[in-house]
Amino acid sequence: MMKKRIPALMLAAAIAFSAAGCSGGNQPSESSTAPSGEPSTSSATAPDNDLVVAFNTDIQSMDPHNTTDTLSITVSRTMYESLVTFDENQEVVPLLAESYTAEDDNLTYTFKLRQGVKFHDGTDFNADAVIANYERCLADTTLRQNSRVAKWESCTKVDDYTVAIKLKEPNSSFINQFTQFQIVSPKALEEGLDLNKNAAGTGQYTFKEHTEGDHVTVVPFADYWGTKATVDSLTFRAVPEDGSRVAMLQTGEADYIYPMPTVQAAQVDGTDNITVGAVASNIMRYVTLNTNLPELSDKRVRQAMNYAIDKQAYAAVVFSGYCEEVLSCYPSTVSYYSEQTPYTYDLEKAKSLMEEAGYGDGFTLTLWGDNISAEQTGMQFVQQQLAQIGIDVEVLPMEPSTLSDMIYVDEDEAEINMWYVNWSASSFDADGSMRSILHSDMVPPKSANTAYFRNTEFDSLLDQAIKTSDPEQLTDLYAQAQAIVWDEAPWLFLGNDELVYGAKSYVSGITLNPDGSVDVTNAALAQ
Amino acid sequence: MGRYFVKRVLSTIPLLLVISILIFAFIHLIPGDPVRKMLPKEATQEEYEQLKEELGFNDPLPVQYINYMKGIFHGDFGESYKNGLPISEIFPARLKATLTLTLWAILWSVVLGTLIGIVSAVKRGKFLDYAGMVIATSGISVPSFWLGLMLIQIFSVKLGWLPTGQLDSWKGYILPAITMGCSIMGTLARYSRSSMLETMQEDYVRTARAKGQRESLVVLRHAFRNSLVQVVTVVGLQIGGLLAGSVLVETVFSIPGLGRLMVDSINFRDYKVIQALLMFFAVEYIVINLIVDLLYGVLNPKIRYD
């Protein structure tokens, strides 16, 4: 009898030990849960002058003309610069250019270039350098910048420090998209330097090393034309697991992490010298409603569904509060945002609209989405909310590539009912935030208008706006366009994610941009 | 034994060919392709079709397969669609991380696992036996993902003794190696215990005791050596599994190993990387099985290879 009790006791001890480990990791925090904007200033000092930033993934490409993911963009911006860039208010400002002008024809843009700028390999920056980059992107169709420069008529040298770009047709989004056209040393391009393994830009930092799947390290460029970097080195680490990323911030192995998992944000804020902050993103969360379906072709049904969603509860349940209600079809961080009358949570109104449309007894729909856990929570939330007005939703989470295959099919084969998805235009322009997902030319398989939303008035407003450069006219055109989408409600408008980061209090000068890229050009560690 | 070896090696060639065809077919049969992920999301259908054509995805599958195999025979495994790096460059660094970690994990778990097994068998039914089996069972049943996070919380965050992962220094290997080795230690302890118990009943062990040999010699020379055949089988199987990379351990400790590469590549539909990895795992299993079979003969000369 005695002998049998021993293993049981040991097992109990083992369980007690593991439980202690659990509670050790979950210290309650005394600080508030409210997201704060900037890392707080504190007297804490950094243990060294090497800045480590941890992300959830590794970069996809180091070639600045071939990047689409925000992390690759973040890293390439430390080493490369473009003629124009966004400031902290997402306004376009000159960078490698001193100034620029747009001609009245909305086709020609002239850039005065900054003088005395050197590339990392010692080459001078001038008009020839810009042209060499244009020629590279035009010639190589596998580069992701290729489709952008293919829309240019020409890129010509006016003098050594002036270039003129002429577009094939007017494009009010051009200057925003041009912020992503980074300049590589013409000498490196000529010599065929492998831009996936090396870098030669004009940026604040020069390339040191990249261990695939692990980290990229850059060090300050001694001959940088602007404010020089103050840290000794800057490392971007790939830390896929949320808990480990937070642990690295706690131990000081990382000085800044993004994304900070929202469920842990409140717990660690204020502990171990950690400040948690959040910024509004350019990410729009929505559910597309296939307007080709008989039930969803009725505007009243789509509006009823919007009234049936409690947006505050959505933000709390899915994002631990790090999500803002959005009052248009794109977030306020994008240009020409125009606020609409909210679909305030109102079940009575929703039910009466359903009655009016002849669907008082409801119907059944499927909801597709990615199979990652946060997305599934969101889908279940929508399911539960719509059940309140008699709509029986079947949630079907799918592996992303498989889902993508089911979305991009010919219209007569489309099986989509609803898609839980998000969209963000990295160029922060109104056209980029609407055209690919709402213009009637853009239904699958061509692009992602998965609501099969077709509104000729909306289409013509968008087509008119893209050819206009007058800000007042644009404000008016885009406001009308947004009003149409809001009223027609081809989507469930859910919210606008906030991006959450964690930083040690001795870190300053890092800005998290609304697109999830991180600007580290002014980063400093308190010594 | 030499003839046996040559025969085994030759028989792997048709096997590998069949495996390569199966891998190729299965990867291309699953829905999705890398082209969408390679393009910006605003890309149009024309751009999609164009890139698809350029990458050769519109060719019939047999043609794609032959092109792929041609490359392999020239030592060219192709490039990753995700980051454009040649697979021959991505692979060695990833393998090194997984291999080093596996070695450390195997080393400690084999030593401790067999030791627990022997002690438990010798002290059968006593306290040490129970204690050993509790450790072994815990080792097998604790989920490695949870264990890894707990070790990080205790030894990195609370105590500050060890890094949270990253193989920059030897210290970085400790926590992942412990996490990885736990279930092997447990499995081995159980196998070696039961195998020891069996051999301890054998006549030759009784004879050795009757001759008045010291107990330690009886246990180690007569019983343990003969129980090793089973232990080697288990270790061989476990190493095979570990070399395929432990996705969970590599994820928790941010280690860029083969397991994470496999998962990332599947998510991206990075066909060439997936193919190269699966082929490597197949070869690796074949080699390890061969080594295990050869070791049988070394451990037990009664085993013949005819």
Interface pTM (ipTM) of the complex? 0.83
CB contact under 8 A, B157 and A250: yes
pLDDT at A43: 55
Banded pLDDT at B305 (limits 50, 70, 90): low
Domains annotated for chain A, with CATH where assigned, are 33-55+204-277+500-525 (3.40.190.10), 70-191 (3.90.76.10), 281-497 (3.10.105.10)
pLDDT tens digits, A102-116: 887 788 999 999 999
Residues β-bridged to residue A284 = A423, A496
Spatial contact of B166 and A211, defined as CB atoms under 8 Å apart: no
Kindly identify which residue of chain B lies nearest to residue A408, measuring between CA atoms. Answer: B45
Q: How far is A351 from chain B (nearest CA, A)?
A: 36
Cα Rg, chain A, nearest whole Å: 26
Spatial contact of A112 and A157, defined as CB atoms under 8 Å apart: no
| Mutant choice from A17, A137, A209, A244 vs B, greatest count of B C-beta within 10 A | A244
CB contact under 8 A, B36 and A59: no
Q: Is the pLDDT higher at A31 or at B64?
A: B64
- Mean pLDDT score, A78-85: 95
Q: Could you tell me what percent of chain B has a pLDDT over 70?
A: 98
pLDDT at B223: 81
pLDDT at B35: 84
Q: How far is CA A449 from CA A340, A400, B109, B290, B297, in A?
A: 21, 17, 55, 55, 66
Structure tokens at B89: 């460059």
Of A68-77, A80-89, A401-410, B203-212, where does mean pLDDT reach its minimum? B203-212
**Is B44 an 8 Å CB contact of chain A?**
yes
CB contact under 8 A, B32 and A214: no
CB contact under 8 A, B157 and A14: no
Helix (H) / strand (E) containing B237 = helix B225-243
pLDDT at A103: 86
pLDDT at A259: 92
- Mean pLDDT score, A77-105: 90
Q: Is the pLDDT of residue A268 over 60?
A: yes
Spatial contact of A435 and A442, defined as CB atoms under 8 Å apart: yes
- Strands A418-423 and A363-370 turn out to be parallel
| Mutant choice from B145, B157, B171, B175 vs A, greatest count of A C-beta within 10 A | B157
A238 CB neighbours in chain B (<8 A) are 254, 256
Query: Highest mean pLDDT range out of A198-207, A427-436, B191-200?
Result: A198-207
Measured between CB atoms, which of B150, B163, B253 is closest to A21?
A: B150
pLDDT tens digits, A13-71: 444 444 333 333 333 333 333 333 444 444 578 889 999 999 988 888 889 998 878 88
Spatial contact of A311 and A324, defined as CB atoms under 8 Å apart: no
**Is B138 an 8 Å CB contact of chain A?**
yes
**Is A346 an 8 Å CB contact of chain B?**
no
Q: CA A379: distance to chain centroid? A: 20
A contact residues 206-235, partner B, Cβ 8 Å cutoff: 211-214
Q: CA A171: distance to chain centroid? A: 22
Q: How far is B120 from chain A (nearest CA, A)?
A: 13
**Is A144 an 8 Å CB contact of chain B?**
yes
Measured between CB atoms, which of A237, A253, A446 is closest to B45?
A: A446
Spatial contact of B6 and B13, defined as CB atoms under 8 Å apart: no
**Is A243 an 8 Å CB contact of chain B?**
yes
Q: How many residues does chain B have?
A: 306
- Mean pLDDT score, A242-246: 92
Measured between CB atoms, which of B85, B90, B164 is closest to A247?
A: B164
pLDDT at A9: 43
Q: Is the pLDDT of residue A2 over 70?
A: no
Collapsing DSSP to helix, strand or coil, B99 comes out as: helix
**Is B261 an 8 Å CB contact of chain A?**
yes
User: Based on the number of CB atoms within 10 Å of its own CB, is A85 exposed (0-12), middle (13-18) or buried (19 or more)?
Assistant: buried
Q: How far apart are CA A506 and CA A43, in angstroms?
A: 7
pLDDT tens digits, B219-235: 877 788 878 887 888 88
Tell me the HSE value of B282 on the side-chain side, using a 13 A CA sphere: 18
Q: Is the pLDDT of residue B41 over 80?
A: no
pLDDT at B12: 84
pLDDT at B245: 67
Of A94-103, B111-120, B213-222, where does mean pLDDT reach its minimum? B213-222
pLDDT at B57: 87
Kindly identify which residue of chain A lies nearest to residue B266, measuring between CA atoms. Answer: A401
Q: How far apart are CA B241 and CA B278, in angstroms?
A: 13
CB contact under 8 A, B150 and A147: no
| Mutant choice from A248, A424, A428, A433 vs B, greatest count of B C-beta within 10 A | A248
CB contact under 8 A, B31 and A147: no
A142 CB neighbours in chain B (<8 A) are 51, 54
Kindly identify which residue of chain B lies nearest to residue A12, measuring between CA atoms. Answer: B134
The DSSP secondary structure of A273-302, one letter per residue, reads TEEEEEEEEEEEEEEEE-TTSTGGGSHHHH
CA-based torsion, B50, B52, B55, B60: positive or negative: negative
Going by C-beta distance under 8 Å and a sequence separation of 6 or more, which residues neighbour residue A221?
A: A120, A203, A204, A205, A206, A228, A229
Of A10-24, A187-201, A347-361, B104-118, where does mean pLDDT reach its minimum? A10-24
B31 CB neighbours in chain A (<8 A) are 401-402, 405-406
Query: Highest mean pLDDT range out of A263-267, B108-112, B261-265?
Result: B108-112
CB contact under 8 A, A447 and B50: no
**Is B246 an 8 Å CB contact of chain A?**
no
pLDDT at B306: 59
Residues β-bridged to residue A508 = A524
Q: How far is CA B102 from CA B113, B240, B250, in A?
A: 15, 10, 11
Q: How far is CA B131 from CA A3, A238, B1, B178, in A?
A: 11, 40, 42, 19
DSSP state of A520: -
Kindly identify which residue of chain A lies nearest to residue B139, measuring between CA atoms. Answer: A14
Q: How far apart are CA A189 and CA A131, in angstroms?
A: 11
Q: How far is CA B174 from CA A167, B145, B235, in A?
A: 58, 15, 20
CB contact under 8 A, A147 and B131: no
Euclidean distance between the first and the last CA atom of chain A, given in angstroms as a whole number: 64
CB contact under 8 A, B39 and A214: no
| Mutant choice from A401, A411, A434 vs B, greatest count of B C-beta within 10 A | A401
**Is A63 an 8 Å CB contact of chain B?**
yes
Q: Is the pLDDT of residue A82 over 90?
A: yes
- Mean pLDDT score, A477-495: 96
pLDDT at A329: 95
Q: How far apart are CA B172 and CA B86, in angstroms?
A: 28
**Is B40 an 8 Å CB contact of chain A?**
yes
pLDDT at A44: 79
A contact residues 185-204, partner B, Cβ 8 Å cutoff: 196-197
| Mutant choice from B164, B179, B265 vs A, greatest count of A C-beta within 10 A | B164
A7 CB neighbours in chain B (<8 A) are 130, 133-134
Measured between CB atoms, which of A14, A214, A244 is closest to B164?
A: A244
CB contact under 8 A, A241 and B251: yes
Spatial contact of B256 and B149, defined as CB atoms under 8 Å apart: no
pTM: 0.83
Of A87-91, A364-368, B60-64, B160-164, where does mean pLDDT reach its minimum? A87-91
pLDDT at B304: 67
**Is B182 an 8 Å CB contact of chain A?**
no
Cis bond leading into A445, ω under 30°? yes
A250 CB neighbours in chain B (<8 A) are 156-157
**Is A76 an 8 Å CB contact of chain B?**
no
- Mean pLDDT score, A450-462: 96
Measured between CB atoms, which of A7, A24, A213 is closest to B153?
A: A24
pLDDT at B177: 93
